[in-house]
Structure 1
C-alpha cells in the first residue's frame, strides 16, 4: 500500500525544514507540491489557474482546498497519483485538521499523521528571521491553528514533535522510524 506523511502545524513550526531533513535521509521522501491559485510566493507550489481549479472540482479531484493569504491552496488527486506512482512517499504540509482528515479519508494510503508544534512567539521570531513580509498574517494563522486543535481535540496523531526542543534532524529520524515501522 502507498504511504504518505501529513505534517500539520502552525506557520514556522518547521514543516519545510523537517521535510528537507527527511529527503536527505531517504530520496523516496518527496515534498508534495500543492496547487496554488493566486499570487505571491511560487516556490514550492504548482501554480494554477481558476479554470484548472474549476476542472479539478468538477471531476471530484480536489481532496482538500484551503483559502488563505488571498490565495487558494489545493491537494489534488492527480498530483498525489503522480508522486505515488513511482513509489515515493509524499510529504504534505497542512495547516488545518480538516485538511489532514480530508486527505487521510479520501485518498487510499497509509498516512502518518505528524503534529509539529512551536509557540506563537517562536512563530513570530522565525517568520521575521526568514524575512516573511506577512508575519502578522502568519500569527493570525497560528491563532487559527491553536483554535483548530482545541476544536478537534479528538484528532489522532501518530507523533507530536515540539520543534522548539527537538532538532529538525531528530524530528526527521523519528518520523522516518514511524513510517518504516508502519510499512
Structure 2
C-alpha cells in the first residue's frame, strides 16, 4: 500500500469511528431519557389500570374474626412540630371490636402564607400496639403538601387485631406532623 491508500483507510476508519461514537452517544442520551421517563410512565400506568402503588392492605379475612365480646376504646391525639398547621381528629375517641374495620377522619390546615410539606409520624400507647394495629389507609404513608390557608380532611382506615392481649381495653393513637423539605 502506498501513502495515499493509508490516508484513505485512516480516513474511512476515522469516519466509521465517528459514526459509531455518534450512535453510542445517541443511545446513551436515549437510555437516560427513557430511564428518567419511567417513573411518570409507571404512575400513569397504575392510574389507568387501577393498580395501587401504595401498601397492600391487610384486612381481617371475614366477619367471624371480629371479637364481638370485647370493646376497645381508641383515643386519638395529634401534634404539630415547627409548622404553622392546625391538626386535629374530627373525633377524639372511638370504640370498636377487635377485627372490626374503623375509619376516622383528621383535618389539617396550613395557617401560613406559604406552601408547607409535612410528614406525619405515628406513635402508640401501649408501646407494642403497632403489632396489633393494622392500617389499611393512612395519610402517614405519604408526605402532605398544603398551600397557604388550605384545609384537607384525611382518612385513616384500620382495625385492631383480635390477638390484642385481653387486658388492654384502651389504646392511644397519636400522630405528629413534622415539616419536610419540599421535593
TM-score range, shorter chain: under 0.3
TM-score where L is the length of structure 1: 0.22
Structure with the bigger percentage of strand: 2
TM-score where L is the length of structure 2: 0.22
Structure with the bigger percentage of helix: 1
Q: Which has the higher contact order (CA 8 A, sep 6+)?
A: 1
